[in-house]
Every structure is written in structure tokens, then in C-alpha cells.
Amino acid sequence: MSGLYIGVDVGTQGAKAVIYDAKTKSVVSRGAYKYDVIKTNVPGRAEQHPSLWIEGSYAAIDSALSGVDRKDVRGIGISGQQHGFVPMDGDGQVIRNAKLWCDVESAKEAEYLSNEWEYSLVPGFTASKILWLKNNEPENFARLRQVLLPHDFLNYHLTGRYCMECGDASGTGLFDTANRTFDTQRMHSIDSSLPDYFPELIGPNEIVGHLRADVARELGLTEEVAVAPGSGDNQMSALGAGAVKEGAWVVSLGTSGTLFGATTIPVIDNSGGIAPFCDATGQFMPLLCTMNCTLAPEEVRKAFDMDHETITKLAEQEEAGSSGANFLPFLTGERTPNWPHSYGVLTGIRQGGMRPGLLYRAALEGATFSLVNGMRMLEKYGVTANELRVVGGGSKNRLWRRIIADAFQLPLRFPAEPESAALGGALQAAAVCAGVPVAEYVAENEPPCEEEFMEPDPSKKGLYEDAFERHQKLSNALFQQRP
């Protein structure tokens, strides 16, 4: 089906939109709108009001549509930050600010539920945030009638329909991934009424609905524009990177670092280190997420007041493995491993070692090792990768590309579209409007990659294995919970 399709990624730091032309198989326009979390002095809290996502999405879409004919738009797909808890009342109104994926204020609730379920639930997941609301704001919990995730909230705003799809739902901690349904027993352990507050589940190839009249007018679109199921940002990034077959894994370098890929069987890790996700095509998508990725090198860059190019050049002059220096990058606590009270640590510094290049390289390597740890965990479940597709803001750093290739000892490809999650939304919309299964559509219309194809350097394998082992031993010695 020809026409234009909008993909929107509603993230923690802003909303981004792309316009995809199904005829030319290309992105023809982009738009963006920046915002931030609500400032607070409460430790571990990270919140936004969902109205900000509407404002940001509208602004990003309007900017992207400025250079195209709006009457040619056929569909829209929403990608949203995962795990966020949007509490709604019975009248369709938001009860309070949404608690975000990076909010760890519910650490006590996560610990309680982990003991109840004999499963290590990280505080980033939605379930702990719901129990936090019940424990800390009972008057607001009493008003609760609908539980939505960020992308579900946008779908509701666009169409008036309450629903979830399996990809994003599998990030709540209240989902039976293997059977693709909600886990009512876990819900009852939070509150007996909770199953009534979750919306219907829809399939990956369904249309949620069409734009409400007032939304269509606001955006200058027709009411015939279809809204695709959407999903979490990681699921949609996989679509935008073309990673819909086993073996092609995605590494995303953003505020958080993620490693994920499609599998035909579920990976259920009771330690909670590997998230038991479904993908956005009807398959499964085990995922590792770290809370500290670009944060660590950015902290070093800002400390020395250098631009990215200058400090990268200095870091390129340092040895692989950072001459024994280690930057444990847990600046905001950590989700994987489940160490919400951990912190950043710099060790192994010798005389003259406080060089910006060395510290920057150590920070890049530390963030990378957290992701390598995820690959090692996945391998225990029989999951293997034959290539990595690297996306996110950090993917543009040439040194970081080289570190990842050599630390993983895998070849790298680089999707050409920087906004892979937004592109995933547009591709999904094009697929459901054409009546073609999403995985089939993406495979046939695979998003382009850069010409560069980076092979690992085998001579660096030993250096990075040694540096990774140091990273693991130091991290576990400082933060591993003891019985």
C-alpha cells in the first residue's frame, strides 16, 4: 500500500517523529520536541505528566509534516518508553504524574514482590510502581480504574480505545510471556481488583482504531488515518533496525543501554537480569537493559569541558582495556544487575592517570561491559548472535563502535535511520494498513544500513576479556547482595 506513515517515539527526553513513504521505502521527513523529567529532590523519583507526551508528540508530528502533503498520510504507529505507569480513573482522566522506567522509588515494593513471586523484579517494572501507589497514595489508588503504559496512553488519546499489545505488556512484570496473557495470580498479590484495571490485549497485526475527530483536526489529518498497535521503544527499535530474525541483535546506546533480539522461544530468567519480553511481531524478544549508558562518558566529557570530537581523539590514543583503569558506570543505581543503590566507581588509576582520554575510554568500556554481561547471560539460555545492529545516540561515536566490536567479538552494522524506534512505528503502521504481517513487511522492506560494516579485531580479544573480568569482579565485590 502506498502512502505516508507517521512513526512517533515518545521517550524520556523528548518526542521524535518520522514520515515514511511506503512507495519509495524511505524516510522523507523528521520532527522532534525536547522535554525533561519533573525536577525533584526525592531520591529515586522520575516522573512526567502524560499531557507532556501529547504536547511533545503533536509538536514533533507537526514539524515532520511541514514538508509533506498531509492528505497522503494513511497511518500512525506509536513507540513509547517502557514500564511507565499511567494511572487513570473511571472518567478517562490521569490521576497523577506517571512514574517512569527510570524511577526506582519503588525499590521496597519490588523487593517485596520478588519475595512473593520467587522472581527478581526490578523496581523499573510497572508492577512495583502500582504497589507503590497503593502503599503511599491510597487515596489515588482508590480512584484507579485503568492501568496504561505510555504508548497505550497515546493510543487511547488518539483513538479513545483502551488496549495493550503483548510487547509492551510483557514489561509490566504482570505478564505470562510464554502464554501471551496477563498473570492474574501476580496481579492478585498486589490487589484483588487489579485484573479489572488492565485493558484488553490486541495482536501485533491489528489496527487499534482511527483518529478521533478533534485529534485529526489538531494535526491537520483525516479521520481515516489508522492507528497501529505500537509497542515499547525497544520492540519498535527492533523493527526500525530490521532485526526481526534470529541472530541479528540490537545494541542501543542511549540514556539506558539495551541488548535485544527476536527469538522463536521465550527466555524466562528468574533472576530478572534478562527481561522476558515479547516482540512487536508475535515472537519473543529477551532483553537486557542497563540504566547507565551514555551517562558515564558524558559525565567525563562535561567534567573536562571538552567537545565530543576532542575527547574522543584523546581516548583513541589510549590502550584497549584502559591500562587497567575501570569505570563502574552505575551513576544512577542499576537495573541489571538489580542494584538500585549502587553508584559510579573509578578504580585502577595510577600516577598521571587522571587524563581525560583515559577516563573517557574507561567510561565507554565500562558501559559496554555491562552489555557484554547481558550477552553472556543470554548464551546460558542457548541464545546466540551472529551480528549486532548498533543504534542510539552513542552509536555515532567511532571509538565506541570499535570498542563494541572488539569487546563482543562480533561484526557490527549501523542502521542508517537514527530514529529507529520512530521508524519502527511507521513500518508497523504501513504493515497493518497493507494487511501484511509486520515481520514479513519489515523483512521485505528492510531498513537500509550505512555502508560501513565493522569486523572485530581478534588481536584485542584477550585484552577485553581481561578488562571485562576486572569489571565483573569489582562490581560484584562492591554491590553483589550477600545472603
3-state secondary structure of 426: helix
> CA-CA-CA-CA torsion for 22, 24, 25, 30, nearest 10 degrees?
-80
Listed residue (268, 259, 295, 460) closest to 373, CA to CA: 259
Measure Cα distances from 282 to 179, 398, 415 in Å. 12, 34, 23
Sign of the alpha-carbon torsion through 245, 290, 295, 15: positive
DSSP at 77: E
Measure Cα distances from 79 to 12, 126, 242 in Å. 12, 17, 15
Q: In 10 A of CB 35, how many CB atoms?
A: 16
Active site residue 233: yes
One of 233, 305, 406, 457 is an active-site residue; which one? 233
Is residue 391 within a helix (H) or strand (E), and if so which, with residue range?
A: strand 387-391
Bridge partners (DSSP) of residue 148 are 86
Listed residue (133, 128, 132, 172) closest to 150, CA to CA: 172
| Alpha-carbon gap, residue 84 to 107, rounded angstroms | 15
Instruction: List the catalytic residues.
Output: 233
